[in-house]
Amino acid sequence: MNEMIRNMSQAQNPSLPVSPQHDPWDPIHLLRTFGRHVLTSVELTVTNQCNMRCEHCAVGDSLNISDPSKIDVNKILCKLDEVEHLQTISITGGEPSYNQETLIHYIMPILRYAKQRGVRTQLNSNLTLNLSRYEMMIPFLDVMHISFNYLNSDDFHEVGFVNHSGSVSKLVAAKLYEQMISNAVQLSSSGMKISAESMINYRTHRKLAEIHQIIVQMGCFRHEVHPMYPSSFAQNLPELTLDDFMQAIHRLLDTRHPDIWLLFGTLPVFWCSSSESELMLLKRLRETPNVTVRNDPDGRSRLNVDIFTGDIRVTDFAKVPPLGNIMKDGLDDVFARWMDHPLKQTVSCYCPEAGCCGPNFLVKDMYYQEIDFQSRKASVLK
Ligand code: SF4
């Protein structure tokens, strides 16, 4: 490990809280520092089990009722330790806390390691299980990330169990919904930072403002908003037009609570657009306090590792075949190979003045298949 460089990258977030001014998951910071993308973020898929089957689940096809055996946790920690500029670890599933053994023998050691190294952590959860499973993470976890797309337990029942093979009654779903809300309120008041993510899709685009109010009431420190893209379970859901997305965002901005951080990600509008309405929206987002637009870390500063097979991928949901395996490859080496990959080149653009480093693959596929982003430039910012 090159201590000097490691220290330099850590110095960007010594003990600053994760905030609109300091979002270590945005790849733009290290791109500005080094003039190239570097691997700062590793996502670990620790389970394929989940008690829900949400209609928008990006990894829905890989969910299963049991998990195969995992790679030794010490091997995983060694591979993380080799990543020179590691700044964030995201733990994902399935529901990572579903299995107590995974929680105790994988998640907690990884969180302890990250805390000791000064690396920020996020866990993606549905927060519907017993409170005690989440409480033990409070001293170690930086961000508890949940999905929240509901106004009531009926919405939760419709969205959360539509792909469930057995029938889950409204009553059972309502109990889980109440558990999730109560967990969020109690964990927030105990100091856990909860970021609730809503997708802009055919169900939510007209009710985001009301969803936002519930998220505020749960005590979340952040509301994350992403358009839904057709991946896995979401593949056959009705798509929204760009105009629908933009109207939904404007309506949310009109009524949002000013004290809660509103983070937009994977947005399908860019500063190189010639559309007045798209540029107006970006300008509004940039000028509204406590609102940020994050560049997508997937494939820019982050790789995904499956802890069962050791496979290293661009993301947990991308159709790109594995780029390597932790049993034989270093993560930094795999990342360097990925930077030269022809597919990566199709979204490799960077406009420093706009703080933008291009679309992700889903966005390009859905709206910009014919567009060569490398020949575009951000408009002059006013
Ligand atoms: S970085 Fe790419 S997507 Fe972003 S404004 Fe520039 S050309 Fe457009």
Q: Whose CA is nearest to atom 6 of ligand 1?
A: 351
CB-ligand 1 contact for 354 (6 Å cutoff): yes
The interaxial angle of helices 276-287 and 242-255, nearest 10 deg, is 30
| Among 373, 374, 377, 380, residue to substitute to test ligand 1 (most atoms within 8 Å of Cβ) | 373
Record the pTM. 0.91
**What's the pLDDT tens digit per position in 292-321?**
999 999 889 999 999 999 999 988 666 788
Sign of the C-alpha dihedral computed for residues 32, 34, 38 and 41 taken in this order: negative
Ligand 1 centroid – CA 178 distance (Å): 42
Does residue 361's CB lie within 6 angstroms of at least one atom of ligand 1? no
In terms of Cα–Cα distance, which of 262, 310, 311, 313 is closest to 288? 262
Q: Is the CB of 31 under 6 A from ligand 1?
A: no
pLDDT in tens, 338-351: 999 888 888 889 99
Taking a C-beta distance cutoff of 8 angstroms, is the pair 147, 203 a contact?
no
271 lines ligand 1 (CB under 6 A): yes
Count Cα atoms within 13 angstroms, Cβ side, for 76: 29
For ligand 1, mutation pick of 269, 279, 347, 349 (most atoms within 8 Å of CB): 349
Distances (CA, A) of 194 to 114, 136, 186, 256: 18, 15, 11, 17
* Distance (Å, whole) CA 49 – CA 60: 10
Domains of the chain from N-terminus onward: 3-375 (3.20.20.70)
Q: How far apart are CA 86 and CA 114, in angstroms?
A: 10
Among 190, 161, 178, 209, which residue's Cα sits nearest to residue 52? 161
**Tens digit of pLDDT per residue, the chain (382 long)?**
444 444 444 445 557 889 999 999 999 999 999 999 999 999 999 998 888 777 777 666 677 778 889 999 999 999 999 999 999 999 998 899 999 999 999 999 999 999 999 999 999 999 999 999 999 999 999 999 999 999 999 999 988 877 666 678 889 999 999 999 999 999 999 999 999 999 999 889 999 999 999 999 999 999 999 998 776 555 667 788 899 999 999 999 999 999 999 999 999 999 999 999 999 999 999 999 999 999 999 889 999 999 999 999 988 666 788 999 999 999 999 999 999 988 888 888 999 999 999 998 888 888 898 999 989 999 866 5
* Ligand 1 near 119 CB (within 6 A): no
Q: Ligand 1 centroid to 351 CA: how many Å?
A: 6
Rounded distance from Cα 57 to ligand 1 centre (Å): 28
- Closest-CA residue, ligand 1 atom 1, reads 350
Atom of ligand 1 nearest to the CA of 271: 5
